[in-house]
Amino acid sequence: MKTQNGAFASTGSACPKKATELFFVTHPMVLKALLGPFLTEADAECGRVVMRSADAHVTACLVDSIDDITRWHGVNNGRVCRAFAGADRREASHG
């Protein structure tokens, strides 16, 4: 895409990324999410396993878009919870 002066428009970090859902780990005894955001339900499920509580569950929140910081947190939270849940080791052994 070109702007009026002929220069190409930036498509870097200023552009928000599209997403339909963010996932969180919640517990009925706590008013706000315990873990999250996560970009995938599978990552949030790993977070729920890490919580070691039968009452913890995964909830989803619909969003129009997410910014780069939220995306980074979602990716990072997923990596950390997969590592603690042992999901990375299971994937590596099957891969």
Burial class, 49, CB count within 10 angstroms (exposed 0-12 / middle 13-18 / buried 19+):
middle
- Which two three-digit tokens encode residue 33? 């999410």
Phi, psi of 55 (to 5 degrees): -90, -10
Segment 76-87 mean pLDDT = 91
Location of structure tokens 């200023």? 14
On whether the pTM is more than 0.85, the answer is no
pLDDT in tens, 8-38: 444 444 555 555 799 999 999 999 999 999 9
